[in-house]
Structure 1
Amino acid sequence: MKSTSVRTVAAPGIVALALTFSACSAGNADDGDAASGSNDLAGQLAGGGASSQEAAQAAWIVGFQEANPDVTVTFDPIGSGGGRENFISGAFPFAGSDAYLTDDEGELTAATERCNGEAPVEIPNYVSPIALIFNVEGVDELNLAPETVAGIFAGEITEWDAPEIARDNPDADLPSAGINAVHRSDESGTTENFTHYLDVVAGGAWTAGAVEVWPEEFGGEGAQGTSGVVSAVKSGTNSIGYADASQAGGLAVANVGVGSDFVGPTADAAAKILDVSPRVEGRDDSSIVFDLDYETDEAGVYPIVLTSYLLACPTYSGDEAEAGELTKAYLTYVVSEDGQAFGAEEAGSAPLSDELRSEVSDLVEGITVE
C-alpha cells in the first residue's frame, strides 16, 4: 500500500508542541488514572510522527504532564513516514503513524529488528475523520459523491459548477470558477488513507492507487503538513483540500456520499467505521490494526477516516530503559478512559470503544522495562 520514496529523517524533539490547553482543564481527569500509577516519574520523552495527531498529542501531553510534572514530553509532527523511520532507527522510543507497518518497503521487518527481534506494538489511539475542507465563494454546504471527489483531486473535474458537483447540490449557488485542489506535498499517512479510500470506492476515476506521496501528474497545489493544507485552503480562493478534521480550523467541510445519503465528518460517524471493519489478518498478537471498510453503506458512517496508531517496542532495556518507562507510562495515559476523553474534548478525536480500549490497554500494560 505504500509507495517507494526517499524519506527525510528529522532529529527528535526539534519541534515541541505548544501546550495551549489550560492546566485546570487537564486537571479534570482523575489523577490516579492520569498518573499511570506513579507520581515519581521524571525525565524527557521525545517522540514524533503523524502531523494529523498534533492536536490530540498536544492535549495528551498536557494531561500527562499535569499528573507528572517532572516529565517533559515532546511530539515532533514530522509526518507518518518520518515517525516510522525515526522509530525504526531508534531515534524515537515511540511514534505516531496514520498507517500500520507493512513489509511493502521492509518496515515491519525493520521495526522487529529494532525491537530486538520482537514484533512491535501497534495500537490504535483514536479514529479521526479526514475532512474535505473547502473555501468556495457563496457556498456553505457541499455534498460530494465518491467519484466526484476522485475526479476533483485527479484533476479531471476542474470547475465548481461542473455537472457532477451541481447534480448533488441543486440548491447551492456554485460559482463558475476553477477548482484549486490542495494536497499534501510531504510523505503523509493522511494522504495514504485518503488515496486508499479513493482507490477502493472510485478506482475508475482514481488511477494512482494508495500512495503516501501525491502523484505529480494529477497537479493541484502542494502544502507541507496538515497545517499547511489548512492554511492554503483558508487563504486560497475556491479551494478544497483534505485534512484531519480536528485541525480543520473552522473551515467548511463537505458531506460525502455513503449509500443513498451524504454524511458529514463528525467524530461519532468516523468511529462507527471500526464497528463494520475487520482486523488485518496474519498479524502478531501485539498488533491491533484494521482493514477499513470504505465501501460500507451502513447508515451514519463517515468513510474517509484515518485510524491513528502508536508504535512502541514490547521490551525496553539498557540505554533505552528510562525512555521505555516513560513511553509505557505515557501510552498508558493516552489509551486510558481519561486520556481518551480528554483527547476527544480538546482535539475532537473519536475515542476508542470501551471494548477496544480495554484490549489496547492490556497490550500497553504488557510492555516490559528491564
Structure 2
Amino acid sequence: MKLQRMNRRALTLGALAVSGALALTACGSDDTGSDSSGGTSSAAAAAGSIKCDDASGQLLADGSSAQKNAIDAWVKNFTQACNGVQVNYKGSGSGAGVTAFTQGQVAFAGSDSALKSEEIEASAKICSSGQGIDLPMVGGPIAVAFNVSGVDDLTLDAATIAKIFNGKITNWNDAAIKKLNPDAELPDLKIQPYHRSDESGTTDNFTKYLIATAKSDWPYEGGKAWQAKGGQSAAGSSGVAQGVKQTDGAIGYMELSYAKDGLGTVAIDTGAASPVKASSDGATKAIADAKVVGTGSDLALEINYGTTAEGAYPITLVTYEIVCDKGNKSDTLPATKAFLRYIASEEGQAILSGIDYAPIPDAIITKVRSTIEGLS
C-alpha cells in the first residue's frame, strides 16, 4: 500500500509539472522572464506592440559590447514579432562598429562614444546626401568591479581609482584605500588591474571620468584605446569581467550587466552625503544632468562626470545607435527604422532597468523617437 501511495504521488506531481510547463508554453514564455531576455514578464506581451511595417530581410550591425546584453534582449522580442527580419549584432566593440559603419558594412552601429568629426566626414561617403548621426539609446553605469578575498564592500574615490589603474597604488592594504575603508579587512595582496585590449567606448567614458575628476593622477588624453602602462588586458566587457573573476586581487571596469557571479562593485565617493554604487537608477540620474551637444538631428550628449547630485552615479556611459540621417540603403531602411522604433519605445526602454542598464530620460528619448521617424 505504501508503494502504491508513493507511485500515485509521483504521478500526480508529474502531471502538475507537465501542466505547468504547458501553461508556460501557452503564455509564450521561452524563458522571457529571465534577465537574459530583458526582465519582462513575457516576450509575447512586449512583442504585441511592435510595429513591423514592411520590415524584412537581414539586418547587420556591430559595435559596443557594453550594450550587447540589451541588444540581445531587444532582438529576441523584435524577431518574435517580426519573424521576417533577422538581426545580427556582433558586439565587437565601439571602434570596430564605427569602422564597419563608415565602410558601409552594417546598417547601424553601436558606440559608447559619439562620432568624431572625422568619423562623421567618413560616414558621408556611405550616407548618400546625409551623414551618420548619434541616437542615445542605452544608458549604463560603468561598474568598477573587484575580486578580493574577504572583502565584500569597497569604497574608492576618483583619485584612488586613477592611481590604481595608473600603477601608483599597487597593494590592497595601501594607506589610501584603508582611509576610505576603515572597517574593511584589506589583505596584503597585489592589485591586478584589468583594462580593455580593444578600442572601446567603455574605456573612453571611464577615462573621461578620471580626466574630469582626477586629472593630476591621470595624465592621459583619453580615447577609445587604453593609454596607461602595465596591468592586464582583455577583449570586450565580457573578457574583462572574466579576467577579474578568475584573479584574486583583480579590479576592472565594465558595464554593470557584466559585473555578476561573485564580483563586487565599488561604491564611488563623489563628495555627496553617501558613496554611490553602480545602479540603473543612479545612471539615469546622471544622464538627466547631461546636455545635448550634437547639431541638427545628431543627439550626442555631454555627460557631467563630476556630478555630486545625491544618488547620481558618475561613471556612466550612453551607448548611441549610429545610423545615416539620409541615404540609408533602401533594402535595410524599413527593418532599421522598425527595430530602432521598438528599442526607443516605452516598451523597449522599460526592459533596460531589469537587466542592469539605464533607460534614457524622457526629455531625450522623445527627441530620439522623432528623429527615427525622419530617417530616409
Q: TM-score, normalised by structure 2?
A: 0.87
Instruction: Quote the residue 1:269 is aligned against.
Output: 282
Residue 44 of structure 2 aligns with an amino acid whose one-letter code is G
Instruction: Quote the residue 1:72 is aligned against.
Output: 86
Instruction: Quote the residue 1:350 is aligned against.
Output: 358
Instruction: Quote the residue 1:21 is aligned against.
Output: 37
Instruction: Quote the residue 1:120 is aligned against.
Output: 132
Q: Residue 152 and residue 292 in structure 1: after superposition, are their counterparts in 2 closer, same or farther (change >3 A)? A: same
Question: Does residue 148 of structure 1 match 2:147?
Answer: no
Instruction: Quote the residue 2:309 is aligned against.
Output: 298
Give the stretch that moved more between structures: 153-162 or 320-329.
320-329
Describe the SS at the equivalent of 2:183: coil
Describe the SS at the equivalent of 1:147: helix
Deviations 1:217-265 (A, max 9, x none): 5200001111100000000111100000012123210001111431000
Q: Residue 271 and residue 20 in structure 1: after superposition, are their counterparts in 2 closer, same or farther (change >3 A)? A: closer
Asked if the contact 2:154–2:265 (Cα under 8 Å) also holds between the matched residues in 1, the reply is yes
Question: Does residue 139 of structure 1 match 2:151?
Answer: yes
Describe the SS at the equivalent of 1:284: coil
Q: Residue 177 and residue 213 in structure 1: after superposition, are their counterparts in 2 closer, same or farther (change >3 A)? A: same
Q: List structure 1 runs of 4+ shifted beyond 4 angstroms.
A: none
Q: How does 1:169-318 map to 2 (within 5 A)?
A: 169-215=181-227, 217-250=228-261, 251-260=263-272, 261-280=274-293, 283-316=294-327
Asked if the contact 2:111–2:321 (Cα under 8 Å) also holds between the matched residues in 1, the reply is yes
Size of the aligned set, in residue pairs, is 339
Q: How does 1:2-17 map to 2 (within 5 A)?
A: none
Question: Does residue 338 of structure 1 match 2:347?
Answer: yes
Residue 336 of structure 1 aligns with an amino acid whose one-letter code is S
Question: Does residue 96 of structure 1 match 2:96?
Answer: no
Please give the alpha-carbon distance, in whole angstroms, between the structure 2 residues aligned to 1:92 and 1:135. Answer: 37
Please give the alpha-carbon distance, in whole angstroms, between the structure 2 residues aligned to 1:295 and 1:123. Answer: 23
Instruction: Quote the residue 2:16 is aligned against.
Output: none
Please give the alpha-carbon distance, in whole angstroms, between the structure 2 residues aligned to 1:79 and 1:30. Answer: 28
Residue 79 of structure 1 aligns with an amino acid whose one-letter code is G
Residue 270 of structure 1 aligns with an amino acid whose one-letter code is A
Describe the SS at the equivalent of 1:249: coil
Residue 338 of structure 2 aligns with an amino acid whose one-letter code is A
Q: CA deviation at 1:210?
A: 1.3
Describe the SS at the equivalent of 1:29: helix
Describe the SS at the equivalent of 1:27: helix
Please give the alpha-carbon distance, in whole angstroms, between the structure 1 residues aligned to 2:239 and 2:233. Answer: 9
Q: CA deviation at 1:24?
A: 7.5
Please give the alpha-carbon distance, in whole angstroms, between the structure 1 residues aligned to 2:348 and 2:359. Answer: 9
Asked if the contact 2:196–2:203 (Cα under 8 Å) also holds between the matched residues in 1, the reply is yes
Describe the SS at the equivalent of 2:42: helix
Q: CA deviation at 1:354?
A: 2.4
RMSD across aligned positions (CA): 1.7
Q: TM-score, normalised by structure 1?
A: 0.88
Please give the alpha-carbon distance, in whole angstroms, between the structure 2 residues aligned to 1:166 and 1:209. Answer: 29
Please give the alpha-carbon distance, in whole angstroms, between the structure 1 residues aligned to 2:276 and 2:45. Answer: 32
Describe the SS at the equivalent of 1:35: coil
Describe the SS at the equivalent of 2:288: helix
Please give the alpha-carbon distance, in whole angstroms, between the structure 2 residues aligned to 1:30 and 1:67. Answer: 5
Instruction: Quote the residue 1:363 is aligned against.
Output: 371
Q: CA deviation at 1:202?
A: 0.3
Give the stretch that moved more between structures: 252-261 or 160-169.
252-261
Q: CA deviation at 1:74?
A: 0.9
Asked if the contact 1:59–1:343 (Cα under 8 Å) also holds between the matched residues in 2, the reply is no
Please give the alpha-carbon distance, in whole angstroms, between the structure 1 residues aligned to 2:167 and 2:41. Answer: 48
Instruction: Quote the residue 1:60 is aligned against.
Output: 74
Asked if the contact 1:336–1:361 (Cα under 8 Å) also holds between the matched residues in 2, the reply is yes
Give the stretch that moved more between structures: 21-30 or 136-145.
21-30
Asked if the contact 1:119–1:286 (Cα under 8 Å) also holds between the matched residues in 2, the reply is no
Describe the SS at the equivalent of 1:222: strand
Asked if the contact 1:181–1:239 (Cα under 8 Å) also holds between the matched residues in 2, the reply is yes
Please give the alpha-carbon distance, in whole angstroms, between the structure 2 residues aligned to 1:270 and 1:187. Answer: 23
Percent of residue pairs identical: 37
User: Which of these residues, 18, 21, 31, is aligned with residue 48 of structure 2?
Assistant: 31
Asked if the contact 1:63–1:342 (Cα under 8 Å) also holds between the matched residues in 2, the reply is no
Deviations 1:106-137 (A, max 9, x none): 11211133212423231100110000010001
Residue 97 of structure 2 aligns with an amino acid whose one-letter code is G
Residue 127 of structure 1 aligns with an amino acid whose one-letter code is G
Describe the SS at the equivalent of 1:114: coil
Q: CA deviation at 1:30?
A: 5.5
Describe the SS at the equivalent of 2:37: coil
Q: Which runs of 5+ in 1 are unaligned?
A: 1-18
